[in-house]
Amino acid sequence: MIQRWHKKKTQLPLIALVCFLFVFCTIFFNERRFQEIHRKENRKGDDIGTRNDVKQAFLSKPTPSSLNSSRLKVPPVALDRFSSCKSTVNYSGQKARWDINLIQSDKHEKEKKDSCDLFKGKWVFDNTSYPLYKESECPYMSDQLACHKHGRPDLEYQYWRWQPHGCNLKRWNATEMWEKLRDKRLMFVGDSLNRGQWISMLCLLESVIPPEKKSITPNAPLTIFRAEEYNATVEFQWAPLIVESNSDDPVNHRLDERIMRPDSVLRHASEWEHVDILIFNSYLWWRQGSVKLLWSNEENRVCEEAEGLEAMELAMEAWANWIKSNIDPFKKKVFFVTMSPTHLWSREWESGTEGNCYGEKSPITDEGYWGSGSDLATMRMVDNVVNKLKSRVSIINITQMSEYRKDGHPSIYRKFWESRSAAELANPMSYSDCIHWCLPGVPDVWNELLFHFL
C-alpha cells in the first residue's frame, strides 16, 4: 500500500508540469495572436483615420458651390432666331445684381475746360474738299447705302462739311489714321447704322492700302477688314441690342418676337476684351415696340415683357457693368455713338406738308431743330449711364448735327430686298428709307469726329 501510494505521489508533479506547460503555451499563443490582431486593427484604424482626415480636409475646403453656387448651374441655352418664350408676364421691374456697383461721377470729361464743343455747329456746302472718297471707287460699298448707284439724280448730299462753332474739326487723313491704328484692333459694335459707319470707315481708309495688302472676311457676326502693313484691323460686330438676343444673326434677324437676355453680354464681350478701340451704338431697335426679357437664371422660358426704353436701360446697365469691370482707360478707348435720328414726318421741319425725307435735297438750317426721330428720354438715360463710367467711355454726339440732314437718307435710292407693289411704286414716300444714310455722306463726319478724338 505504501509502495503503491508512493508511486501515485511521484506521478502528480509530472502531470502538473505537463498541464502547466500546456496552459503556458496556450496563453502565450493566444497573447501573440491577440497582439497580432490588435496590430492589424490598429493599422486598419489608422487607415480609416487617415481616410477620414483626408475626407474631412476635402470637405473643409471651399468648393465651387460654397464659393459661388451659380457656377455649378448649367449655362442658359443660347438664344437664336428659333428661340421662343413658353409664356409671357409683365415686366416685374427687377434689376440685375452686378458684381461692381456703378458710382455716380461728375459729368466725367465732357465738361472739362474745353473751349470748343465739336457737336454744335452748322453744315457748310463744300464741293472742293468733299466728298472724301467716291462711291464707285470703294470696293466695300453697301447696296443699301449706294444712293447714286441706285438712281439718285442729285449729288449735293455728298458735299456738306460739318463746321463747329468757334473751332475746326481735324481734317481727315487716312495715313495718319492708319498710324493711330498700327498694331491695333478697332471694332464697331451695334446695328445697321453702326455697320454703315464701319463701311464709311473702310471707304475712308482702304485707298491707301495696296490691294495685295488688304483683305476682308465674308459676312458673319464679326466681319474683319485687315491691313497687313499696319498689322491692324477694322471690324464690325453685329449686336443690335448689345446684350445677347434672338436677333444676333447678322442676316436672319427680322423676327416677330424679339427676345433678349437683359443680364448677359457674354456672347459679344468675348471679343471686346481683345480690342483696343471700341465704338458702340444702340437706339432704333428699342423703338420697335415691346421687348421680351429672358433672364439667365430663368429655367422655364418664362419671359417678361418690357417697353423699349425700360429694356434698353437694362441692356445699357449690363454693358456698363462690363465696361466698369474690364476697361482700363489707359490701355483701351471706348466710344458710344448717340442716336441717329430719322426723318419720317416733313411737317416737323416744314409745317403743312405730309411727306418724309423723300425728295429732300438740302439740310435744315434752323439751329436747334429737334424732330420726333430723336427721343430725349433715351438720350438722358444714356447720358446718365455713361456719366457713371467716368473716363472709361467718351460720347460721340452725332444726334443734333444729323438732325439737320433730312437730305442725307437713301429714301428710294437703294437696293430693297423685298419687291414693291404697284401701289407702293406709285407712292415713293410709302417705302422711302429715312433711317439709314447715303455714302459718301453723314457717317463720314461721324468718323471724322472719331479721328479727331483719337
Roughly what angle, to the nearest 10 degrees, separates helices 442-453 and 192-205?
Answer: 70
Catalytic residue among 142, 192, 200, 340: 192
Q: Is 406 exposed, middle or buried (0-12, 13-18, 19+ CB in 10 A)?
A: buried
Residue 279: strand, helix, or coil: strand
Q: For the stretch 29-60, what's the b/e string if a residue is b when 16 or more beta carbons lie within 10 angstroms of its beta carbon?
A: eeeeeeeeeeeeeeeeeeeeeeeeeeeeeeee
Which residue blocks in 61-149 are alpha helix, DSSP H? 64-67
Catalytic residue among 148, 268, 409, 436: 436
Q: Is the dihedral of CA 139, 284, 297, 103 positive or negative?
A: positive
What number of residues does the chain have? 454
User: Rounded to an integer, what is the distance from CA 220 to the centroid of its chain?
Assistant: 16
Confirm whether 436 is a catalytic residue: yes
Is the distance from CB of 190 to CB of 278 less than 8 angstroms? no
Confirm whether 192 is a catalytic residue: yes
Roughly what angle, to the nearest 10 degrees, separates helices 308-326 and 376-387?
Answer: 20
From the list 448, 366, 443, the residue with the least C-alpha distance to 408 is 443
Element (H, E) at 326: helix 308-326
Confirm whether 46 is a catalytic residue: no
Element (H, E) at 334: strand 333-337
- Locate 433 and state its grid cell: 428709307
**Between β-strands 222-227 and 232-238, what pairing exists: parallel, antiparallel or unpaired?**
antiparallel
Is the distance from CB of 233 to CB of 224 less than 8 angstroms? yes
Is the distance from CB of 389 to CB of 108 less than 8 angstroms? yes
From the list 8, 81, 57, the residue with the least C-alpha distance to 248 is 81
Give the span between the Cα atoms of 82 and 157, in whole angstroms: 41
Element (H, E) at 365: none
Is the distance from CB of 299 to CB of 77 less than 8 angstroms? no
Beta-strand ranges (E) seen in 106-195 are: 121-125, 160-164, 185-190
**Between β-strands 291-293 and 302-306, what pairing exists: parallel, antiparallel or unpaired?**
antiparallel
Q: If you search the block for the grid coordinates 433678349, which residue do you land on?
A: 260
Catalytically active residues are 192, 433, 436
